[in-house]
Amino acid sequence: MRDVIEIHDLLLRTIIGIHDWERKDRQDVVINLRLYTDTRRAGTTDDIRDALNYRTITKRIIELVEGSRFYLVEKLAEEIARVCILEFGVPQVEVRVEKPGALRFARSVGVRILRTREDYHDETSSPPTS
């Protein structure tokens, strides 16, 4: 994909971490997304129906993150990618999730993943018909 829609520094709060003290209060997480898609049709028609509606995607991610209680940022990133691809048909997504202040002397620590439809092939396949 040549075209990319980017969402920068989405700051949310969620329960995340493996330690008991991390499971008591919500912590900040910063999410960055690169949604790889073809924007040519929307760029030609100037019609939102032909565009990937990143506002709707962002609302769904906020709902997911704020309602989650994962232990690992890896799991949170994976679930965000799964939503983008399976619920919104994004062909490829890069997800970066960071926990500010998670490491002493570091501004943040995080994970960056790249997923495509093929990564969720088993979840998108139709069950065999009898």
Q: At what angle do helices 73-82 and 54-67 cross, to 10 degrees?
A: 140
Helix (H, G, I), strand (E, B) or coil at 15: coil
Cα three-residue angle 5-11-15, rounded to 5 degrees: 125
Which of the following is catalytic: 24, 59, 75, 99?
99
**75 tagged catalytic:** no
Encode 73-87: b = buried (16+ Cβ within 10 Å), e = exposed.
Answer: beebbbbbbbbbbee
CA distances from 45 to 27, 40, 50, 90 (A): 41, 9, 7, 20
* Active-site residue list: 99
